[in-house]
Chain A
Amino acid sequence: RKEVEQDPGPFNVPEGATVAFNCTYSNSASQSFFWYRQDCRKEPKLLMSVYSSGNEDGRFTAQLNRASQYISLLIRDSKLSDSATYLCVVVGANDYKLSFGAGTTVTVRA
């Protein structure tokens, strides 16, 4: 089983729609969780950290479910500029190593 698994998508949504997707992780002792965003042929950039209590940053909401070992990202009121690949990142329990998922591609259409 891969350390971090994501639905690759693509999720094709119209502008203004809400889109949500999950990421599962295999190591129950993982300590930290992030969502990174990667535009086509560009480097990954931090979108947001994921906290146990869930957190929001504008139109983006991240949740962590430790019991079921998944994190989620919800994007409200999608914009064309939200089109990207969203990478789930899990930090190892002992080695602080970041493990990346293969990404979920979101395409927002006009």
Chain B
Amino acid sequence: DTAVSQTPKYLVTQMGNDKSIKCEQNLGHDTMYWYKQDSKKFLKIMFSYNNKELIINETVPNRFSPKSPDKAHLNLHINSLELGDSAVYFCASSQGSGVQETQYFGPGTRLLVL
């Protein structure tokens, strides 16, 4: 009964392809996030949704498009993949979007672009 799940766990693909990563949380949380962790281990927020509405949109190329069909799901679609997109992508969720909220992370999706 994983709280935050992501699929796939590993993704190896060629430059120029389009791919999607799915995220689901069964915690009943209102807020979900996508983070990118690069080779230098920095975790950087990409997007945040609260009740299916976008509330944080960092400086991310518009090849990245999040989609939230309902508040339990936040998927990430990436067009025209580039070598620099290789990273670990973590989905997370929290009860709300306040300053003291604990974020629960999914297991990560390891993306390798060749």
How many residues belonging to A are interface residues under a CB distance threshold of 8 Å?
21
Q: Are B41 and A43 in contact (CB under 8 A)?
A: no
Interface residues of B, dominant DSSP: loop
State the Cβ distance, A12 to closest chain B Cβ, in Å. 18
Complex interface: chain B residues within 8 A of A32 (CB):
99-100
State the Cβ distance, A75 to closest chain B Cβ, in Å. 20
Say if the beta carbon of B103 comes within 8 Å of chain A. yes
- Take A31-B99, A96-B97, A97-B56 as given contacts and tell me if A43 and B40 are in contact as well, using a CB distance cutoff of 8 Å: no
- Take A49-B100, A91-B99, A95-B56 as given contacts and tell me if A43 and B107 are in contact as well, using a CB distance cutoff of 8 Å: yes
- Closest B residue, CB atoms, query A31: B99
How many chain B residues sit at the interface, stated as a range, is 20 to 34
Q: Are A102 and B99 in contact (CB under 8 A)?
A: no
Say if the beta carbon of A73 comes within 8 Å of chain B. no
Complex interface: chain A residues within 8 A of B44 (CB):
100
* Chain A residues proximal to chain B, CB less than 8 Å: 31-32, 34, 41-46, 49, 85, 87, 91, 95-100, 102-103
* Chain B residues proximal to chain A, CB less than 8 Å: 40-45, 48, 56, 58, 90, 97-100, 102-108
